A and B are shown apart, each in its own frame.
Chain A
Amino acid sequence: MLQACGLTKRFGPRIVLEDVDLAVHEGETVVIIGASGSGKTTLLRCLNRLETPEAGLVRIGDVTLGQRTDGRPADEAELARQRRLFGFVFQRFNLFPHLTATENVALGPRRVLGMMRAQAEARAVHELTRLGLAQHVDKRPSQLSGGQQQRVAIARALAMDPRVILFDEPTSALDPELVQEVLDAMRALAAEGMTMVVVTHEMRFARSVAHRAVFMADGRVIEQAPPDALFGAPRDERLRRFLRHLEPHRDS
């Protein structure tokens, strides 16, 4: 359903992504792991074109990102339409601070899908309630805990009916006691059959939720397999070293 071929991205002279292929099936949850600087986040951001890759293609369904159906480059409006197919959840939430939780979630439906205000807000409240935030719909982000903010951000992504949601280290900025509520929300989404690509360091989540784990190092995909196989019998030395590093925090 989602397919990336030969993605390459440089920042100046540094190659952060080198000829990366990734395929994600409908309803699949794929977890991407790897040391910091391995290109995981850049890969995610190239998928929905927050970064423009120097080479390579991203296809979702029959849409090729950045291209129109006749193969010519997509203009800004077309690219915005294509981006809608992806939800994106940021490490630092990136909620709109001047809007309430409901308004945050309703902004896309209103300004992008052209819904009426009442309809968009009903939709927003529905998504927020689904994520256990019914009591917080009228609060501003600054009045919410990190875990609540991240769930609002997930609701914001869901309200656009994306084909796939990309999570960029969604729990890394959270206090430890708030991590679980966000992981639980993601677990529930995965169980409902949402297609998800998750960059994370949460190995227990990876093991129990993901259908497939992808290990990246130096801007390349090194190894991928179902999580039990990847974690249980790592073949690549860099992966073994990475997993040993995590050992002290790892749940058996």
Chain B
Amino acid sequence: MIFDWAVVQYAAPLLAHGVVMTLQVSAVAAVLGLAVGLAAGLASLSNSAVLRGLVRFYVEFIRGTPLLIQIFLVFFALPVVGIRLPEFWAGVVALALNAGAYIAEVVRGTVGSIEKGQSEAALSIGMTRHSTLLWVLLPQAWRPMLPALTNDLITLTKNSSLLSVISVYELTRAGQAIIATHFAPFEIFLLLALYYWALISALAWASRRIERALPSW
């Protein structure tokens, strides 16, 4: 088998554009997903059975269906109810909703595992459950949450490759375009893999730095 270096040289800078889009879509989806996940996670710890039920349903639905289907649902089903999103935003919403469900579980698990004495102490000085969550439990949960959150964000970034199916011109889509014109699938897919790997490694490294920088006690 012949490895076509010329195509690699040609493709490498072109794919860099795709990397930028992958980073953009992942970053926006990550911020949104963290917000959704945090809100849903806290809601699942609230007093309200209705709220807990809604979160339960949301998490079960996301966990029980393939991301690919979720992307198509956001892209094709939302217009039916009158919401038309451009590909980029449809992709962001799908990824964020997907990651949000997993992040909600991380938040619920970590905050819920903080020793019971902490919330009792907060109750004993007259704090409500709400302010206990906000000022006592959540601040203690960040650090133990970080490794699991990193996993979810890594998964989100890798999942962004599925957005190629709705023509978001991210890394994978950019690679497919080159394959279509130059027919060098092995070279290009290998290159794609290396790009993703580099991206994810950078993400993991950043997460370790953040974890070290977070205060411990």
Stretch of A84-92, A125-133, A217-225, A231-239 at the chain-chain interface: A84-92
CB–CB B121/A80 < 8 A: no
| CB proximity to A under 8 Å, residues B94-131 | 117-118, 120-129, 131
* A140 CB-CB contact with B under 8 Å: yes
Complex interface: chain A residues within 8 A of B215 (CB): 98
| Chain A positions 109 through 150: 1 when the CB is less than 8 Å from some CB of chain B, otherwise 0 | 001100000000000000000000000000011100000000
How many B residues face the partner with a CB closer than 8 A?
20
- Cα separation A81 to B124 with both chains bound (whole Å): 10
CB–CB A83/B117 < 8 A: no
| Chain A positions 98 through 115: 1 when the CB is less than 8 Å from some CB of chain B, otherwise 0 | 100000000110011000
**At the interface, is chain B mostly helix, strand, loop or mixed?**
helix
The number of residue pairs between A and B whose CB atoms lie closer than 8 Å in the complex comes to 72
Interface residues on A, range: 20 to 34
| CB proximity to B under 8 Å, residues A146-162 | 153, 156-157, 159-160
Complex interface: chain B residues within 8 A of A160 (CB): 125-126
* A95 CB-CB contact with B under 8 Å: yes
Known: A76-B47, A141-B217. A96 touches B121 (CB 8 A): yes
CB–CB B117/A80 < 8 A: no
CB–CB A48/B127 < 8 A: no
- Cα separation A141 to B216 with both chains bound (whole Å): 12
User: Looking across the interface, which residue of chain A has its beta carbon closest to that of B138?
Assistant: A98
CB–CB B126/A98 < 8 A: no
CB–CB A98/B128 < 8 A: no
CB–CB B124/A48 < 8 A: yes
- Cα separation A156 to B210 with both chains bound (whole Å): 32
- Cα separation A20 to B140 with both chains bound (whole Å): 38
User: Looking across the interface, which residue of chain A has its beta carbon closest to that of B131?
Assistant: A111
* A50 CB-CB contact with B under 8 Å: yes
**Known pairs A83-B124, A96-B140, A98-B215. 11 more at Cβ < 8 A?**
A76-B129, A80-B127, A80-B128, A81-B126, A83-B125, A84-B125, A88-B120, A108-B127, A140-B217, A156-B125, A157-B124
Contact surface of A with B, Cβ cutoff 8 Å: 48, 50, 76-77, 80-81, 83-84, 86-88, 90, 92, 94-98, 107-108, 111-112, 140-142, 153, 156-157, 159-160
6 inter-chain pairs at a CB distance below 8 angstroms, sorted by A residue, are A77-B128, A90-B124, A94-B121, A97-B140, A156-B121, A157-B124
